[in-house]
Amino acid sequence: MPDNKIFLHEGREKSLLRHHPWVFSKAIEKEDSSLGGGSRVTVYSHEGNFLCHGIYSPNSQIRVRALSFDENTPCDNNLVISRIKTACSLRQKLIERGNDGVRLVASEGDLLPGLIVDKYNEFLVISISSWAMEIFKDTIVSALKDLFPQSSIYERSDTKSRLKEGLENHCGVLYGEEPAEVIYVKEAGSVLIPVNIKNGHKTGAYLDQRASRIRAGELSRGARVLNCFSYTGGFGLWALKGGARAVENVDVSDTALDAAKQGVVVNHLDPGRCRFIKKDVFEFLRRQVEKHEKYDLVILDPPKFAESAANLKKACRGYQDINRLGLELIAPSGRLLTFSCSGLMTPELFQKIVADAALDAGVDGRITGTLRQDSDHVVALPCPETFYLKGLEITVL
């Protein structure tokens, strides 16, 4: 195998010395322009010192994704298989605690950049978003078949990141059976969460919010709950399970709301205690403020507002606006659970935005809890971007 060498500009090796897995195009001084996507490369400093082995992506700003920082450990099938096994073993206790929906592989968090593997009962859903993992696709499927021989494997490689890599989207059965339109996974041995593997968001569900959904249930006894951007109603189901007197789920998708309604039935919860409202969340919140409505618990779990550094300022305004509206709706001693899944949003900036929103709303609040992505969405120490989901529990005085 030829040694495709890439040399960095002087002084641009610092992040790789810390084992951060991304090499940006602007850091590169010398490369072979004829290299194709998926080529194995070795990256050197300006002075010619070894830095990493990785996989090349000619169309992406992240030109190389590092897989090995050991000169004697190549980017090969054995390395990928070993890391998949390690990642799955880390999730075993979470599965044993009654969670049928678990993220088995979390991309850079598990040193497999661009690979997501989620387990929903006996279905494994893989999503590949980089050349670094695309070239190992057959190896990944084979490793998962060995580890979970009773499971079917479905691909949901249909992300924007994949298109930026110059890869075509692929969805469909890779092994075993076709999943039903909606399946249900048990969460913490208690609540059944609807999952649409074939057509739902991401791989079918938001597993990263598991711990926060459980917290919402703990706060919901006797409460009037507003669940915004409800998707298939996971927060609402936990609120009903926790004893909420009323839950309002708000989303713009009929399909998501229909799944949320069915989730109430499947969990044998009282449909008379919940409403399902198809509405733009910003518009709905403004209307509720005008009507002087009050809730004991408001949940704001919006989609990613900051897709890039260029629109971070605009995203901040969106977060501040929605948190102001949410805080205006909270009754005294009530709580707000508010989240940002934008990786560019730091915890410090998010807290500042919510503080400014409270000032605008004219309320006095306290942070009584912090929330984050659940433990199966692991964070790699050298890669802070893998910590993306920030949440605050605010109590209004």
Active site residues: 341
3-state secondary structure of 298: strand
Dihedral of alpha carbons 58, 50, 79, 126, sign:
negative
**63/47 Cα distance (integer angstroms):** 20
Round to whole Å and give the CA distance between 60 and 289.
44
Q: 185 pairs with which residues across the strands?
A: 193
Distance CA 392, CA 397 (A): 15
Q: Which among 235, 137, 127, 209 is positioned nearest to 171, based on CA atoms?
A: 127
Query: In whole angstroms, what separates CA 368 from the centre of its chain?
Result: 24
C-alpha to C-alpha distance for 84 and 298, rounded to whole angstroms: 38
- Tell me the two tokens of residue 218: 């703990």
| Alpha carbon distances (Å) from 150 to 52, 105, 203, 311, 355 | 37, 18, 20, 44, 49
**Amino acid found at 375:** S
Closest C-alpha to 48, from 13, 7, 17: 7
Q: Are the CB atoms for 225 and 257 separated by under 8 Å?
A: no
Three-class secondary structure of residue 41 per DSSP:
strand
